[in-house]
Amino acid sequence: MPSSNSGNELLLRFFESAHFTSQLCVAYLSRYPNNIGIHHFLCEKLATFPYEEIEFFIPQLIHLVLNKDSESVALEEFIISQCEQNTQCALITFWYLQAHMVDLGLQPHSSCFKICKRLYNRIQILVFMSSSSLIQSQQKISENVTPALILSGIMLGGVCVPELLKKAGPIAIAQGRKAPRQDPDESDVDVLRRLSTEPRYSLDVLRSSLNNSIVEQHSEVSLRLKAPELTRTHSYQSSATLSIDEQRRVLRSNYFQQEIQFLFALQDISIRLIIVPRQARLSSLRAELALLNNNLPADVNIPLLRSYHKEVSHKIVRIDPKEATILNSAERVPYLIMVEVLSGELSFEPQSKKNKAKVQKIVSHKNQRKRWFDLTDVDPYTNLQDSTDNDISESESEGGDLSMSPLIKGLVPDTLSLSKSFSSFGNVSLQVPSSHRDTDVVLLSGRHSDSDGNGALKRSKIYASEITARMRAAATMLSQLDAEGSRRPKAETERIKNSIILDMQRLEEERLNEPSIYPVSVDISCAEDLRFGKETQKAERKGDRDDPSAATFQEDWYAKKERIRKSSPYGHYPNWDLVSVIVKTGADLRQETFACQLIYAFQRVWLECKEKVWVRRMKILVTGDNSGLIETITNAISVHSIKKNLTKQLREAELAQGKIAGKNVVTLKDYFIKQFGDPNSSRYRQAQTNFLQSLVAYSIISYLLQLKDRHNGNVLIDSEGHIIHIDFGFLLTNTPGNVGFESAPFKLTADYLEILDDRFDEYRSLMKAAFKSVRKNADQIILLVEVMQNNSTMPCFRAGENTSAQLLQRFQLQLGDKECDDFVDLLIQKANCSVWTRLYDLFQNITNGIY
């Protein structure tokens, strides 16, 4: 605790004032790592803030606990406490620690690694164990002499001053749990210790360890040599013997296991698609998602979208394979999915009827299975019974699993094998006979018994597994064909490859033509609308093979949502909703997440100052050192796509009129007129205002954070005219190719000026007001950078401690108001139609085809 001297009294008064925010609390945790009393007090103070604010700082808190050499265990205990209270906090912390384990893999004997390993194991115990008594058994007080002596003194002093024992006693007890400097656990034979002999920790190794731990219920995850038995068999015999807290823990453990494996499955799909040729990736993706749907509905959600205020969340019931889209990427295969959810369906309240039945299933092993969402084994005849256990309610379980995507009809014989010689590849066919169409007609009409419905649903799962197996086989053949290409004539290689890809695409068209399975409760009167929707989808997909994401982003989000609702077997539920996320692998998203934190900090400052500028907050969920989920920005399309599509339409129109197609590219103003009407109309003027206000915000953010790689593929325009920047791989101190090619303070092109038109002076005035507002609150931005810059692996901190110093310089805090206005004018002058901006856009157009 702060002492009675004047300095600490002033500090305590500041800590307890209304001006002491959660951000300042985190900053002071960084400044006082060696003062145990202050550290404990600050952690207690931080716990009083709303969870939403605490979650915002999870990356900073984990960075501090790993990199600040401190005798205090307060922050470590605070993180564990928050994870015990909140499932989302536990998941986010688990994934961040997993990413740090990979970072620290080359330093297995460092203190950072030991702390990370200890925390990672403790979080795994929290996440996967169902017995609270076993969790508490892990938190033993170590043989630490100093805390023991302090506690003895406190107990003696407590005789005269009872308040002393109340205040200081918990600190001494917490410090008693601190591991000794010479950690005896280094000789333990546990999961993570076995991995430390590897030259480097990799996510694959950690994932393999994690999956094995899930199967074994983490019987070896303890840091102690004598690990407790964590299997359900030895924990409980009946749900009737469980307390309410224990039942809640069972439900949470079940959720954690399914959620983590669900996200692993999504990431594995992206990795498997890398070997698939571009033309066949979309078909393969949809086949994989059709197989994944066999495990839905399940106790999984999208953590990005969970409510902060209660432990109740949406439940994923279906991922529509037809709506999935491959995004443009040079090396990786990120993809976008439309996820159907039922809001408020997922909770950990054991008193509810559904959860009581679920707990009984779990503890009696009826819901026991080796893996959830295991797409590596596509034997179509296994685990059919397991998949029928993932029900929305008991009433629905009687009618079978309603999550099925359209039936996939009989496929090629099982004799299709990679052992076939490449000379016969050209004859391989994935075409689909129609031997099962009668079953579809019966199902669509709803005139079938429960037993018939269950049988057909099971058969449809067999077909889904078969089609996925064939797609993977075809992808492997294509990959091997590339490897063997140099040994064969080029023309023959291309012929075989095109034949396989064509068959994969034809199979996808067959699936689009087939009617879907609907539960009996669905109103079949909308069948005409559904058929119209299918025709529209087919037309879109035929026209967008080269750029499959184009149709997805051009369609109005609300129209898309209504269209999918009509075709969904769950659309009739009043709590049905649709969310869209991007699955990305092969890239460390921690820097992007940090950039989004900084941008949100700007947004909060401007909202508090009531400045009329606009910023779009983005959410990113880090799920490892090279993977994560990104919230989709709906009703927005990149400037590149806008220009490409409009230019293409213009040239096609000129050719249709017998004119020679020109080579000029259309401007953004052409798009604004097409989208919002006459420049003098109120709708256009409102879009112009939206563009101006968002351009001001992103101009200031781009300058202060030094956002680079600002080509037109990374700049979006939404349906209301706002400009939005995405993809923050380069900021603060790192640049593309480590060359300062983009030397303009921010992007201000002739296109932008043409839209601003006669409102350029308004843009300048708003720039000055907004810049002065963030200058007054510069500490809110700088503190975030200061906390993260030491010992960070993120590329944006290559300058180390100089990163925050350079950021501080860009705020120009030494200038008065008049000098600040002149400085902003100078920035605008440098950015205005900068030759460097034009050259960078030209370079991107030549090298990557970005308009």
Query: Residue 189: which CATH number?
Result: 1.25.40
Lowest mean pLDDT among 87-91, 153-157, 476-480, 794-798: 153-157
Judge if 790 and 838 occupy the same domain.
Answer: yes
Q: Is residue 576 part of a domain?
A: no
User: What domain range is 41 assigned to?
Assistant: 6-140+177-235
Beta pairing class for 715-718 and 636-638: antiparallel
Lowest mean pLDDT among 129-133, 421-425, 644-648: 421-425
Pairwise pLDDT comparison (539 vs 760), residue with the higher score: 760
Q: Which residues pair with 338 in a beta bridge?
A: 580
Pairwise pLDDT comparison (97 vs 645), residue with the higher score: 97
Rounded-to-integer distance, Cα 93 and Cα 64, Å: 13
Length in residues, the chain: 851
- pLDDT exceeds 80 at position 17: yes
Judge if 219 and 250 occupy the same domain.
Answer: no
On the CB side of 755, CA atoms within 13 Å amount to 32
Give burial (CB, 10 Å; 0-12/13-18/19+) of 790. middle
pLDDT on residue 347: 84
Question: Could you tell me the end-to-end alpha-carbon distance of the chain, in angstroms, rounded to an integer?
Answer: 60
Q: Is residue 593 part of a domain?
A: no
* DSSP H stretches of helix in 158-202: 162-176, 191-195
- pLDDT exceeds 80 at position 475: no
Rounded to an integer, the average pLDDT of 639-643 is 89
Q: What are phi and psi of 724, to 5 degrees?
A: -135, 130
Q: What angle do CA 322, 327, 328 make, to 5 degrees?
A: 140
The 10 Å Cβ neighbour count of residue 159 is: 9
Q: Is residue 575 part of a domain?
A: no
Q: In the structure, what pLDDT confidence band is assigned to residue 349 with cuts at 50, 70 and 90?
A: confident
- Average pLDDT value for the chain: 73
Q: Hey, is 34 helix, strand or coil?
A: coil
pLDDT on residue 532: 34
pLDDT on residue 401: 33
Produce one character per residue of 343-369: b if its CB has 16 or more CB atoms within 10 Å, e if not.
bebbbbebeeeebebbbbebbeeebee
Judge if 222 and 281 occupy the same domain.
Answer: no
Domain-ending residue, one of 488, 519, 550: 519
CATH number, domain containing residue 788: 1.10.1070.11
Secondary element (H or E) of residue 344: strand 335-347
Judge if 24 and 97 occupy the same domain.
Answer: yes
840 token code pair: 């960078």
Judge if 70 and 113 occupy the same domain.
Answer: yes
Question: Which are the contacts of 538, defined by CB distance < 8 A and separation ≥ 6?
Answer: 509, 512, 513
Rounded-to-integer distance, Cα 591 and Cα 597, Å: 10
Lowest mean pLDDT among 209-223, 385-399, 410-424, 684-698: 410-424
Judge if 507 and 651 occupy the same domain.
Answer: no
pLDDT on residue 438: 38
Rounded-to-integer distance, Cα 779 and Cα 660, Å: 58
Rounded-to-integer distance, Cα 706 and Cα 567, Å: 45
Percent of the chain scoring above 90 in pLDDT: 27
Judge if 205 and 274 occupy the same domain.
Answer: no
Judge if 832 and 791 occupy the same domain.
Answer: yes
Rounded-to-integer distance, Cα 601 and Cα 21, Å: 13
- pLDDT exceeds 90 at position 60: yes
Lowest mean pLDDT among 396-405, 423-432, 469-478, 565-574: 396-405
Judge if 697 and 788 occupy the same domain.
Answer: yes
Pairwise pLDDT comparison (9 vs 146), residue with the higher score: 9
Domain-ending residue, one of 196, 211, 235: 235
pLDDT on residue 410: 32
Q: Which residues pair with 336 in a beta bridge?
A: 325, 582
Pairwise pLDDT comparison (579 vs 137), residue with the higher score: 579
pLDDT on residue 486: 53
Question: Which are the contacts of 254, defined by CB distance < 8 A and separation ≥ 6?
Answer: 299, 358, 362, 367
Q: Is residue 513 part of a domain?
A: yes
pLDDT on residue 608: 92
Rounded to an integer, the average pLDDT of 830-842 is 86
Rounded to an integer, the average pLDDT of 397-418 is 31
Q: Is residue 619 part of a domain?
A: no
Q: What is the pLDDT of residues 351-370, one digit of tens each?
A: 888 888 888 888 877 545 55
- pLDDT exceeds 50 at position 315: yes
Nearest to 411 by CA among 437, 395, 430, 388: 430
Nearest to 102 by CA among 201, 196, 210, 192: 201
Judge if 780 and 829 occupy the same domain.
Answer: yes
Q: What angle do CA 252, 66, 263 make, to 5 degrees?
A: 35
Domain-ending residue, one of 519, 554, 589: 519
Instruction: Please say whether the beta carbons of 599 and 615 come within 8 A.
Output: yes
Q: Is residue 580 part of a domain?
A: no
Judge if 704 and 784 occupy the same domain.
Answer: yes
Global pTM value: 0.76
* DSSP H stretches of helix in 777-849: 778-789, 802-811, 817-831, 835-848
Q: Is residue 716 part of a domain?
A: yes
Look at the chain and report how many structural domains it folds into. 3
Judge if 642 and 508 occupy the same domain.
Answer: no
640 token code pair: 């590149």
Percent of the chain scoring above 70 in pLDDT: 62
Q: Is residue 454 part of a domain?
A: yes
- pLDDT exceeds 60 at position 774: yes
